[in-house]
Amino acid sequence: MVTGTSSQPKYDNLILILGDQLSLDLPALQAGSPQSDIILMAEVTDEVTYVRHHKKKIAFVFSAMRHFAAELQAGGWTVRYVRLDDAGNSGSLIGEVERTLSDTPCRQVMITGPGEYRLKSAFQNWSEDTQHPFQMLEDHRFLATHQQFADWAEGRKQLRMEYFYRDMRRQTGLLMQGDKPEGGKWNYDAENRKPAEDDMFMPKPLRHEPDPTTQEVLDLVQNRFGNSFGTLDDFWFATDREGALKALDHFVETALPQFGDYQDAMLEGAPFLYHSVLAQYLNAGLLNPLEICRRVEAAYYDGHAPLNAVEGYIRQIIGWREYVRGIYWLKMPGYTQENFLGADRDLPDFYWSGETDMACLAAAIGQTRDEAYAHHIQRLMVTGNFAMLAGIDPYQVHEWYLAVYADAYEWVEAPNVVGMSQFADGGLLGSKPYAASGNYINKMSNHCKTCAYDVKVKTGPKACPFNPLYWDFLIRNRDKLGKNARLMQPYRTWDRMSDDKKAEYLDSAAAVLKAF
């Protein structure tokens, strides 16, 4: 219950800023005024523990919040910053709003629309219950508004990213020559599938030494959440906008030119390859999507990076990122519960421990534990592919991804996991499941060379587990997938196999599934 609201308001607006709203151009900051408003930022256990967040993600968010609060104060704002260990911390964001109102009356509470549905609806419910004046502003740090995406989706049979992306190219003018795409093609993805070699020069993302603020947060997280997933060792993320901008420059200088060619590659001991490792900064608000794209576009016109790299990179941000956000808000609530294939197995323990003889999974999960990071193909074709082939409950898969990556917020994670990687939405995002046998991983990585299993062996104890699981997945789900035009070929191959071969595959898959 809100108390103290009847007394004379001390401030006009109480502006709540969330841990992923760390942008000076945030709508609530633009609408407010340092002269008449007070800002609230709060570290709360509810946000830390609603999934088993990686320790590095918690540390990143808290340190970035503290740096941002200091920046706001330096800019003349009054900031009430609640630290996790502060006496009286209620443990929830709504609790902290109420606590503030009770000792510091404010005419109105103002927030920028939260990125996750659960928080948005919690605030809407709160405002209805308390009747305290409340304003929620649309988050305009994206290219497409919810309404714009809904209008685009209206009446379409299929929501294909490619068409949405072209609209975003036209809207932003990025890589456009008049109304034509630069180079004559919209999409250079076909050129972006080279495997990487062990002896290639490998750039590294820019590392930032923890300053005293970050060090203090690291100690706090170790003390309070020491049992949470992941390690805090060697924390190197930037935690303010200045550092994030330097990381962007460093990526453009060192890795962007190869980003396209090796976008789908995986390499043992090379967790970042030519990826930007900027999503955690972008999603927390330290960088803006359009400024990243303009910087990357300039690298093309300066002759520093080729078109396949630049177009591929811009597509990820103005195409995929905006598109998955649109899908999330179009389909929530309910989207995270979808389970088209009826998968119901529990997530194997090795997703948390990393202890598995499968070299590709051990590498992806090991670096996830160490860095709170894995790149797209590891997320999609290793951990995601395995979970789907093994029939893991997609909700458990969704919770795992939301917890373990520094860049994970439900609006971007859920469509990628539930839709793209698990096909749990029945094909809204992808026209077919991203299911692959060991052959794909062998083609795109060198993991199989050191694996305890043999990727060329199809069945039996030495066989790469992805091989029998691939067929088991297709056969198990034939009633749901059998009519998919893009799966006709594998189903035909299956139908031509001898009964003995089929039985070998299914028995091997059963043995794999029994082992965890």
- Interface residues with ligand FAD (CB under 6 A) are 275-279, 282-283, 313, 316-317, 320-321, 324, 375-376, 379-380, 384, 401, 405, 407-408, 412-413, 416-417, 420-421
DSSP strand pairing (176-177 vs 180-181) = antiparallel
Q: CB of 128: closest distance to ligand FAD in angstroms?
A: 30
CB 416 to ligand FAD: min, Å: 4
Report the distance separating Cα 388 and Cα 288, nearest Å: 33
Burial of 89 (0-12, 13-18, 19+ CB in 10 A): middle
**CA-based nearest residue to 293, from 268, 310, 272, 275:** 310
Tell me the three state secondary structure of residue 134: strand
Cβ proximity to ligand FAD, 98 vs 240, nearer residue: 240
| Closer CB to ligand DLZ, 24 or 488, in the complex | 24
CA dist list (Å): 47 to 20, 91, 118, 151, 229 = 11, 8, 11, 32, 15
Nearest residue (CB) to ligand FAD, 208 versus 458: 208
In angstroms, the CA 48 to CA 55 distance is 9
Residue 202 near residue 273 (C-beta atoms within 8 A): yes
Closest distance between ligand FAD and the C-beta of residue 11, in Å? 34
Choosing among ligand SF4, ligand FAD, ligand DLZ, none, which partner's interface includes residue 285 (Cβ < 5 to 8 Å by kind)?
none
Any contact of residue 448 with ligand SF4 (CB under 6 A)?
yes
Q: Cα–Cα distances in Å, from 210 out to 60, 99, 125, 277?
A: 10, 32, 39, 18
Q: Which residues contact 23 (CB under 8 A, 6 or more apart)?
A: 29, 141, 285, 286, 288
Tell whether residue 466 is a contact of ligand SF4 (CB under 6 A): yes
Which of 107/376 has CB closer to ligand FAD? 376
Question: Under the rule (CB under 6 A), what is the footprint of ligand DLZ?
Answer: 18-20, 42-44, 47-48, 53, 58, 61, 93, 114-116, 119, 409
Answer for which of 66, 141, 447, 458 binds ligand SF4 (CB under 6 A) is 447
Closest CB to ligand SF4 among residues 248, 464: 464
* Residue 140 CB neighbour total at 10 angstroms: 13
CB of 53 to ligand DLZ, least distance (A): 5
Among the residue ranges 51-59, 81-89, 342-350, 464-472, the one whose residues contact ligand SF4 (CB under 6 A) = 464-472
Using CB under 6 A as the binding rule, whether residue 453 contacts ligand SF4 is answered as yes
Residues that bind ligand SF4 (CB under 6 A): 358-360, 438, 441-442, 447-448, 451, 453, 455, 464-466
